[in-house]
Amino acid sequence: TFYPYAVERKIEPFYKGGKAQLDQTGQHLFCICGTRVNILEVASGVVLRSLEQEDQENITAFDLSPDDEVLVTASRALLLAQWAWREGSVTRLWKAIHTAPVATMAFDPTSTLLATGGCDGAVRVWDIVRHYGTHHFRGSPGVVHLVAFHPDPTRLLLFSSAADAAIRVWSLQDRSCLAVLTAHYSAVTSLAFSADGHTMLSSGRDKICVIWDLQSCQATKTVPVFESVEAAVLLPEEPVSQLGVKSSGLYFLTAGDQGTLRVWEAASGQCVYTQARPPGPGRELTHCTLARTAGLLLSATADHNLLLYEARSLRLQKQFAGYSEEVLDVRFLGPEDSHVIVASNSPCLKVFELQTSACQILHGHTDIVLALDVFRKGWLFASCAKDQSVRIWRMNKAGQVICVAQGSGHTHSVGTVCCSRLKESFLVTGSQDCTVKLWPLPKALLSKNTAADNGPLLLQAQTTQRCHDKDINSVAIAPNDKLLATGSQDRTAKLWALPQCQLLGVFSGHRRGLWCVQFSPMDQVLATASADGTIKLWALQDFSCLKVSGDPAAVQVSGLGGSDGLVKLWTIKNNECVRTLDAHEDKVWGLHCSRLDDRALTGASDSRVILWKDVTEVEQAEEQARQEEQVVRQQELDNLLHEKRYLRALGLAISLDRPHTVLTVIQAIRRDPEACEKLEATMLRLRRDQKEALLRFCVTWNTNSRHCHEAQAVLGVLLRREAPEELLAYEGVRAALEALLPYTERHFQRLSRTLQAAAFLDFLWHNMKLPVLAATPTPWETHKEALP
């Protein structure tokens, strides 16, 4: 029996930090991921294109032109590539001439000039239309990490900032530095210009923003913002009451290490709006950009999440999880398994809708989430984390998830959680503090009238039991909710009666710590997976070991996935591995099967989440259709041979790509009284690709002395009737000749020996002195006459 699973979908990293940019329409999002620039469709969250330079080096900088037509990327190999990004093709590739990688780049407002700032302290300007370098500005100390053109193209001004925290103003007309603006004491992180081009805003990691008058090149206002700012954006000069913008003066928005977007009035230096900050680390904002035409604001967080806001109200519109690092657990969510929850090396949980790729990032835990489990109906699920707490979340019918309950009480990391199976009545957690806790669900949580506005309810542990002497790695609740199994680093599993947690027995036998325990849904059997590389099945009645299976090299992480990135499917009956699913490149930490067992979900340290689909029925249907087609074709072939329509028969046999069937046709042709003429006439009418296939089949036939005559007959026709230059143009002809020569040489030697033996026999016959016999010919004479 086959158990075929095929990859249906992958959730992979697409953004690993650095610049992210929207096009003017807000329909496409561009971001860096290692050696690629990925282009996402904002509406669906799907990666439309992944652009990688020929040198396959990491991308260090990129920029999209203001007219959305040209994308330029720079790699560590000091090459610049100009892309027709909609087609995914490079239109031009040239050397950056910088002596160190390009750290930043920016287009001018006309989309014809490109400025690049290098780690070598140089600033270069390129004409993208005429394809040549126009300017080379020296004088910046250290890495030039910021370049920007003045918004008025007639001014021909370029601004840059390097390691000395000064802003240099370069004149393209005079090819010189017009001014050096000094007000910052730390790296300048962004430059923004007012609509009239008279004012510039600069932000820095020195926790200040500076307003500059570009006509006098003087700082007119310094605004202390009390956080290291990564980006500042000037807002459109119009009142927006939601953001505290009451007049049409100058207002700007900052994004920095506090993790919140804040709006400031430039004239007074006052903060007029502060966004609510979600809990937990990794919320620092590393990038922020405004797409004015689309009215969208894009920000990036330190844990590689991209957040898209409506610019006027800062209402969150879309969330994208760019990079999950190590995926620690995965679960299907929803009554129809419509969503997927992912716990990665982060305090945030990510919920993906499978149909639309929409992502929701859940905040609540303050340290890495270690495990997940879903209640029977699919709306409620639980998570536990290193912050020593457990949380319960609910998804509504619109797919929105909120935290509805939380509990704390463990004195160490909570590494495993399991929800009750029969009813949504309780959950059990296991911790590094060697205890398990049973948490009943509050009745208010289960009533439909519970409002979410009151905040999460408080969970109270009903039972606490010290179960093992070392970390508890796994807990499992039996299908009847009456038994609990625990697996520990102390190499044992234990069985407990619920709800009081009375010990019923111990499963001993593994040589290393246990990673996973699971009850059988059908039988009174417990499965345990250990770091000793084995999976053991135990009888619940007498605690005896029933079976041992597993591959010591593969089952290092859990009974579900392997440390080698493989997922294996075992039959319990004969301990046989019937399927190996290979799509991950690192340890598989999480696996979950859908309600109908037709799909599976795996998550691994390679930061990939893979959705597998059971394609048994599809493959069986394909196999049946293939067999039926072969029967029909075989019948057609027999009919053609019977009617001596050799050309059609040979063409059909070649199309089946079955050397033995083609051999049968050649043998049928050679049995014909006019074999040579028929074979030659038939072969000459074949197409070239069919002759190439025949030559390939000849290599197979020629290895066998019984079929070598057919191979030699076909070769004879090809060598006699095809021109040498045509033969040499055949695909794979050299490899075919190399394979044909040694066997042909062997057949020739065998026939030569047979011919010699026949000649010697003839010689013996002529020299034998026989007594005179009767005139009637003997059988020997009759045979002699028949000899050649």
CA dihedral for 499, 503, 509, 511, sign (positive or negative):
positive
Residue 128 has pLDDT above 70, yes or no: yes
* 704 vs 341, higher pLDDT: 341
* 540 vs 686, higher pLDDT: 540
Is residue 50 a contact partner of residue 40, using CB atoms and an 8 Å limit? no
Instruction: Give me the half-sphere count of Cα atoms (radius 13 Å) on the Cβ side of residue 225.
Output: 35
Residue 411 has pLDDT above 80, yes or no: yes
Confidence band of 703 (pLDDT split at 50, 70, 90): confident
Q: Tell me the β-bridge partners of 566.
A: 582
Cis peptide before 236 (omega within 30 of 0): no
Q: What is the model's pLDDT at position 451? A: 52
Q: Which two tokens stand for residue 641?
A: 């041979």
Percent of the chain beyond pLDDT 70?
Answer: 94
Confidence band of 227 (pLDDT split at 50, 70, 90): very high
Cα-Cα-Cα-Cα torsion 477, 482, 488, 494, nearest 10 degrees, comes to -150
Residue 556 has pLDDT above 60, yes or no: no
Residue 665 has pLDDT above 90, yes or no: no
Residue 452 has pLDDT above 60, yes or no: no
Residue 297 has pLDDT above 90, yes or no: yes
Pick from 301, 347, 297: nearest CA to 317: 297
Cα-Cα-Cα-Cα torsion 469, 474, 475, 479, nearest 10 degrees, comes to -140
Is residue 51 a contact partner of residue 39, using CB atoms and an 8 Å limit? yes
The whole-number average pLDDT for the span 435-452 is: 80
pLDDT tens track for 169-217: 999 999 999 999 999 999 999 999 998 999 999 999 999 999 999 999 9
The whole-number average pLDDT for the span 257-276 is: 91
pLDDT tens track for 33-54: 999 999 999 998 889 999 999 9
Is residue 29 a contact partner of residue 22, using CB atoms and an 8 Å limit? yes
Is residue 385 a contact partner of residue 414, using CB atoms and an 8 Å limit? yes
The span from the CA of 447 to the CA of 722, in Å, is 85
Start-end of H helices in 13-96: none
* 418 vs 619, higher pLDDT: 418
Pick from 303, 308, 377, 306: nearest CA to 344: 303
CATH of 183-318, one of 2.130.10.10, 2.60.40.420, 3.40.120.10, 1.10.3300.10: 2.130.10.10
The span from the CA of 647 to the CA of 684, in Å, is 10
* 735 vs 115, higher pLDDT: 115
Q: What is the model's pLDDT at position 770? A: 61
E strands within 605-703?
A: 609-614
Provide CB contacts within 8 A for 265, sequence distance 6+.
244, 245, 249, 250, 251, 272
CB atoms within 10 A of CB 112: 16
Q: What is the model's pLDDT at position 774? A: 54
Q: What is the model's pLDDT at position 438? A: 96
Q: What is the model's pLDDT at position 361? A: 92
The span from the CA of 732 to the CA of 636, in Å, is 30
Q: What is the model's pLDDT at position 555? A: 36
Confidence band of 248 (pLDDT split at 50, 70, 90): confident
pLDDT tens track for 381-392: 999 999 999 999
Confidence band of 781 (pLDDT split at 50, 70, 90): low
For 246-258, give the DSSP string. Answer: -SSS-EEEEEETT
> Which residue in this structure is represented by tokens 């203001």?
66
Residue 528 has pLDDT above 70, yes or no: yes
Q: Mean pLDDT, the chain, as a whole number? A: 88
* 494 vs 4, higher pLDDT: 494
Q: Which of 172-176, 382-386, 590-594, 684-688 has the lowest mean pLDDT?
A: 684-688
Confidence band of 3 (pLDDT split at 50, 70, 90): low
Confidence band of 120 (pLDDT split at 50, 70, 90): very high
The span from the CA of 769 to the CA of 758, in Å, is 19
**Angle at 329 (CA atoms; ends 328, 335), nearest 5 degrees:** 165
Residue 559 has pLDDT above 50, yes or no: no
The whole-number average pLDDT for the span 56-66 is: 96
Q: What is the model's pLDDT at position 772? A: 60
The span from the CA of 333 to the CA of 340, in Å, is 6
> Which residue in this structure is represented by tokens 């996402």?
40
Q: Which two tokens stand for residue 358?
A: 């929409």
E strands within 441-544?
A: 457-458, 463-466, 472-477, 483-488, 492-497, 502-508, 514-519, 525-530, 535-539
CB atoms within 10 A of CB 171: 16
Confidence band of 448 (pLDDT split at 50, 70, 90): low
The span from the CA of 517 to the CA of 348, in Å, is 26
Look up residue 243 and give its DSSP letter.
G
Q: Which two tokens stand for residue 118?
A: 């290098």
Is residue 394 a contact partner of residue 380, using CB atoms and an 8 Å limit? yes
Amino acid occupying residue 231: A
Cα-Cα-Cα-Cα torsion 773, 779, 780, 782, nearest 10 degrees, comes to 100
Q: What is the model's pLDDT at position 675? A: 61
Q: What is the model's pLDDT at position 382? A: 97
Question: Measuring CA to CA, how many Å separate 469 from each of 251, 504, 647, 779?
Answer: 60, 17, 79, 97
Query: What is the reported pTM?
Result: 0.76
Q: Which of 196-200, 544-548, 710-714 has the lowest mean pLDDT?
A: 710-714
Is residue 70 a contact partner of residue 113, using CB atoms and an 8 Å limit? no
Count of positions (residues) in the chain:
788
Reduced to 3 states, what is the DSSP secondary structure of residue 520?
coil
* 229 vs 665, higher pLDDT: 229
